[in-house]
Amino acid sequence: MEPINASELLIQVQEWIEYDPDPETRIELQNLLEQNDLDALHDRFSGRLTFGTAGIRGVQGGGPNRMNQLTLRRVAICIAKYLGKDTSVVIGYDARKNSQTYAADMANVLSHYGVHSQIFTEVVPTPLVSFAVRQQSANLGIMITASHNPATDNGCKVFLSDGAQLRSPVDTEIDERIEMSQLPPREISTGAGKVQEIETKVWDKYCSTIANTVRGVSGSLTIAYTPLHGVSWKTVERIFELVGVTDVVTVQSQLHPDPDFPSTPFPNPEETGSLDLLFEVARNSKADIAVANDPDGDRLAIGVPTTNGEWRILTGDEVGALLCNRILESTTGQNRKVVSSVVSSSLIGKIAKEAEVEHSQTLTGFKWIISEAYRDPTKKTVFSYEEALGYAVCDSVRDKDGISAALLFIEMAEDLARKNLTVLDQINNLSLKHGLHLSRSQALRISEQGSLSQIDFAARLLDRKPPESLGGLHILEFCDYDQAASTAGLLLPQSNMVRLILETGIRILIRPSGTEPVVKVYLEKIVKVEEGQDIDHERSLTNFTFDSIEEGLQKYLKEILTG
């Protein structure tokens, strides 16, 4: 969006206030006008929220660059115009502030334009909406959630009729409609579209379907669990009951939905400290596994005890490798396929190759992953994942599902225990067979406010001379990832990433966040290990090297991107 001058800004603010149906955000903007706070107003009107890798989300407040009722009305109208009359949409919502209000209002807007809505009557996890779209033969699904974002945020995820996330070219078409649309009136009447409540049998069907994805669960392990103040516990509890997992200890202070997330301001399982209460409960109860879902239930974090009595959170790549190996060991068929993102560990490809199973890679984001997973109907995709704690382990949910993934992980851990093996033993076994794959993803903050332009991000870095070394290691390769991918035979959309290869073979991928002033960095190192070797020592050495590399990268990127 082009910069706007003060007079144009004030006109836009007044117009927004006129059409905004929410008195709270109207008052917010009116107060900013009276205070003549042009900086705050410009921040709210200098752009608008758009669809990203996982829907549209942002801080709640007034204006097009905030999440609010009017922003979502524009989304609903353009979805309705895209779908046409007498189509149907499934709508779910989480427990965040305004989620239920947004869901009901979007259903009313869709009704006005002749689109039927099937809406859940209580909070649900995101995977249930993906499941319900196909179960109810709907044309589209909407989930009101900001996933693992802070309490200030909200948003919506959109699913197409196949249960997979909104993707190209449909996302572009809807977004272009939003860009060209006028603000809708404050009062929108109900129309020919019917608004119906979704019966509890859909939730029951999801629970029974997920429960039936495992066969060997005995309930022999003690599980520590937290939904991080989110909406998953009711569903998880029911599925555990169905399969016989009864020895479950929970983080009571985080068990029930709370839009304020009082004990974890950043309810992202990847955030340092977010699982401290879970590990405390796990230690006190002598649990075998610690399980966490993010607030909307589509991601899974796992913690396991170490030999010294401490607890260690597994990386997304470690969980991905374990689940992939489990599924390939327990399934058969020449047409099996696994899919992972290009920033995820290369270990998955080696596990798939050993099992003679096709492995495909995509850009990060499940809208790309699921699209590739079901691109060829002659293939049977049995597992998909990305390193950011997202796993798809069954065909019934065509999106990442932290609940079904948790159940499969528990089944695997029980099977290992019967063989007198721990989860960490199994990770080491995979390392002995395929090499120790050490990976880390990190968001490096470049400035304290604003966002980084994604335009020509890779070119801006490549135009400058790279540092001579990172972490004391010389840089052997510094290139556009798209070029490297093309050379390797990977046909992918533009990634806007840069790839570095350091001596000792450390691979680094760098991309901008776009919504925050951070750069996402993905590191991987592969170490050959042998029986009897101290693998934990190798991990410690590599993590120390990763720390040093990140420090050097942050300094370099700040100079390039803010200098």
Which secondary structure element, helix H or strand E, spans residue 354, and what is its range? helix 347-354
Contact of 478 with 498, CB cutoff 8 Å: yes
How large is the average pLDDT for residues 360-370?
Answer: 92
Indicate if 173 and 214 belong to the same structural domain. Answer: no
Does residue 545 lie within any of the structural domains? Answer: yes
Indicate if 452 and 551 belong to the same structural domain. Answer: yes
Please report, for residues 417, 481, 487, 561, the alpha-carbon distance to residue 475 in angstroms, rounded to integers and kept in the order given: 43, 15, 20, 20
Indicate if 474 and 553 belong to the same structural domain. Answer: yes
Indicate if 152 and 292 belong to the same structural domain. Answer: no
Judged by DSSP in three states, 189 sits in coil
Does residue 64 lie within any of the structural domains? Answer: yes
pTM, entire model:
0.94
Indicate if 161 and 12 belong to the same structural domain. Answer: yes
Out of 259, 288, 308, a domain closes at: 308
Q: How many domains does the chain have?
A: 3
Contact of 207 with 245, CB cutoff 8 Å: no
Q: Which of 377, 382, 305, 304 is nearest to 337 (CA)?
A: 382
Which residues, in sequence order, are bridge partners of residue 469? 474
pLDDT digits (tens, 9 = 90+) for 408-462: 999 999 999 999 999 999 999 999 999 999 999 988 777 654 455 555 677 778 8
pLDDT digits (tens, 9 = 90+) for 233-255: 999 999 999 999 999 999 999 99
CATH number at residue 187: 3.40.120.10
pLDDT digits (tens, 9 = 90+) for 366-377: 999 999 999 999
Indicate if 169 and 241 belong to the same structural domain. Answer: no
pLDDT for 536 beyond 60: yes
Indicate if 170 and 212 belong to the same structural domain. Answer: no
The pLDDT of residue 450 is 47
Q: Which of 58, 64, 74, 49 is nearest to 15 (CA)?
A: 64
Between residues 60 and 451, the one the model is more confident about: 60
Indicate if 79 and 211 belong to the same structural domain. Answer: no
Out of 262, 280, 308, a domain closes at: 308
Does residue 366 lie within any of the structural domains? Answer: no
Indicate if 58 and 179 belong to the same structural domain. Answer: yes
**Residue with tokens 């993707």, as numbered in its chain:** 167
Out of 198, 221, 248, a domain closes at: 198
Does residue 476 lie within any of the structural domains? Answer: yes
pLDDT for 473 beyond 60: yes
The pLDDT of residue 2 is 53
Does residue 324 lie within any of the structural domains? Answer: no
Average pLDDT over all residues of the chain: 93
Indicate if 82 and 63 belong to the same structural domain. Answer: yes
Indicate if 233 and 280 belong to the same structural domain. Answer: yes
Owning domain of residue 464: 436-562
Does residue 339 lie within any of the structural domains? Answer: no
